[in-house]
Amino acid sequence: MESYQIFLILMAVYLLGLIGIGLYFTKKQKSVTDFWLAGRKISSVGIGFSAASSWMTAGGILSVIALYMLLGMGSIWSFVAPNIIALLLIALLVGKIKHLPAITQPELLEQRFSSSIRAPVAVVIAIVMALFAVADIKGFSLVLSIFFGLEPIYAAAIVALAISVYVTLGGFSAVIWTDMIQFIMLATFSLIIAFVVVTAATSGAADAPAMTTSDLFGDVPSGWWNPFIIGVPAVLIAIFAIIPGWITEQDPWQRIWAAKDEKSARNGMILGSFLIFLIFGVACTAIAISLNHIYPEIPASFAEIGMGAMAAAEPALLVYIVSTLSPVAVGLCAVGLAAAAMSSADTFATSGGSCISRDIYQRYIKPDATMKQMMTINRISVLIIVALATVLSFYIDSIIDVIHIATFIASAAYFFPLMGGLFWKRATKQGALAGLIVGAVVQIGLTAIDLANTAPFATAYLDTVHPVLSNHGVILGMLLSGVAFFGVSLATKPSDIVNLAPFFADEAEKLEKEAMIVDESDPEYKKLSKVIEKEVTGDRASVKLNLEASATINWDRFVTELKNIHPSWVTPTGRDSVYRLTKADMLACVSLTRGDSEKEIWFAAEPLAADLDLSEKEFLVAFKQVAEAFANVGLLLTLPSDN
């Protein structure tokens, strides 16, 4: 049986398994939070494996090996080290991020600033996520081209159709569980191939002189093992160019919000960084050194044609596999690399899709959409990102460059608005919008200039102008974004307390306090205690109450009335979500959303598990206030019978 036929059989079995996972989690998708954040129930192991899997693309693995072959450890600053460092830094931010009740970063920025910044950030993130997904499709295209001589359209079709099915069925829960399976497959592939290639290089079986393993790893050019051989200034430029974009990338934040508690989120990020090191730092290093011994002409060509040697270095591992391994092994390797492509692309599809669904459609097009309608839009949004990435994959050639371009746009556009908003109280909506626009426009412009004026395989044009303009001038883009952000913020009126309270505890103390007197002998309190849904996950509890009004709810009229009679109810992210803002921990505040039908209203909160009894009392107060507002607009809302 030919390797291609074996691949098709194995791929079909694998895809059926992924679709089965999607079907299993379809039944569990009851709300937007369930679809985009897996119900906030993911363990540290799930977070760690998924975080690592989502940042290790098939194309990324091939590019890392190629860079090691040509540049040695000095190349780690372009991709490997920023991956590991970024996850460790994100682990430090978990405490600040986790308690915010956002599903997306644009939603968080609206909470902090205003609605004016939400749509622009959503568009930028959606584009960045699509560009990241392009790298996955390009990497898998290279695999299928070398292994089986297939055109790129086949790789795009396999990745696009597969993730479209299981992600649209199972949402983020399916992403997490398939990521775990895909990482195990990828790790198995990487470690076994590393062993095979090292054995071939040391045994003399690959038309290269035999040697011991220690001699193999010692027989490298001078300075190959030195990560600082490129110079400290170049290292610092790379760090400041790439890491800001990756620590503010939406997909790891989405995993923090999906984790069952802070400990799980933090430990998951640390685990993810270790798993990335295992593949990029151990397996890829062994493979690169061995391939240099097997194909010495590839590193030798670097002296003559520079980075043009990447054209031979990137597919070197694939060439070795297809020329030396059995058809069954080739088929297995192809499936393993397909897993790497899908494990990243599904993450970027859900992350970008959430911005289209929640931050554009629900926020601006149909704020009163029911939960059932939103579940349909969620799935369509994922398909849009997949389709965009598929189209772009036919127009972009370099795998690493597309990852860097997406990263640099993210760094320049929303690093300062996002991180400044979290930690600097004086940041304003005008400053955030100025930083976003200036950073995005400047960075896109610099990238276009750099690409237009750089000849194939030549040093980048902006690098020749000044070293600080390397990496498509992202340092300048970030600098101008920061100047605009801080300058305009200081020149404009400070943010309102409603925007500051969820982010700064001292501002929350200034919130208008409402007396909360609850008589535990109150029949309604006893009834509510029996019908309310409670589930403890980690250090928090999920509390829900789904009710149905006496008639169709005019959502806009109801929200206006509720806010008028009870000022503690606010809509910091639009009228689709209403919060009773009484504390800094906004996740613990009671929120309101539309249910599956136009008569349903859903109450929800995620208090600390230790405060569950207090949350029940807050639910009763919230219910009575909502019922009062309903009565004022001619509707009746009552608690269901506990029978």
pLDDT value of position 401: 78
pLDDT value of position 389: 86
pLDDT value of position 544: 93
| Rg (alpha carbons) of the chain, rounded to whole number | 26
pLDDT value of position 643: 54
pLDDT digits (tens, 9 = 90+) for 460-499: 899 889 888 888 999 999 999 999 999 999 999 999 888 8
Q: Please, are residues 408 and 443 in contact by the beta-carbon 8 Å criterion?
A: yes
pLDDT grade, residue 52 (50/70/90)? Answer: very high
Using the predicted structure, report yes or no on whether residue 350 has a pLDDT greater than 80.
yes
DSSP letter at 436 equals: H
pLDDT value of position 512: 59
pLDDT grade, residue 156 (50/70/90)? Answer: confident
Mean pLDDT, the chain, rounded, equals 88
Using the predicted structure, report yes or no on whether residue 265 has a pLDDT greater than 90.
yes
Query: In this structure, what are the phi and psi dihedrals at residue 574, rounded to the nearest 5 degrees?
Result: 100, 165
Measured at the alpha carbon of residue 311, what is the angle toward residues 310 and 316, in degrees to the nearest 5?
85
pLDDT grade, residue 515 (50/70/90)? Answer: low
β partners of residue 535? 542
pLDDT value of position 113: 92
Check the CA dihedral 240-243-247-248 and report its sign: positive
Among residues 235, 284, 241, 242, which one has the least CA distance to residue 86? Answer: 242
Look at residue 438 and give its three-state secondary structure.
Answer: helix
Using the predicted structure, report yes or no on whether residue 542 has a pLDDT greater than 60.
yes
pLDDT digits (tens, 9 = 90+) for 273-297: 999 999 999 999 999 999 999 999 9
pLDDT value of position 35: 81
Among residues 310, 467, 472, which one has the least CA distance to residue 405? Answer: 472
pLDDT above 90 coverage of the chain, percent: 41
How far is it, in rounded angstroms, from Cα 161 to Cα 378?
16
pLDDT grade, residue 516 (50/70/90)? Answer: low
Say if strands 591-594 and 578-580 run parallel, antiparallel, or are unpaired: antiparallel
Using the predicted structure, report yes or no on whether residue 377 has a pLDDT greater than 80.
yes
Using the predicted structure, report yes or no on whether residue 68 has a pLDDT greater than 80.
yes
pLDDT value of position 642: 60
Instruction: Kindly compute the dihedral angle of the four CA atoms of residues 413, 419, 420, 425, in this order, to the nearest 10 degrees.
Output: 150
Q: Domains of the chain by range and CATH?
A: 3-407 (1.20.1730.10), 523-632 (3.30.310)
User: What number is the average pLDDT over the span 505-524?
Assistant: 74
Using the predicted structure, report yes or no on whether residue 522 has a pLDDT greater than 90.
no
Using the predicted structure, report yes or no on whether residue 447 has a pLDDT greater than 90.
yes
pLDDT grade, residue 637 (50/70/90)? Answer: very high
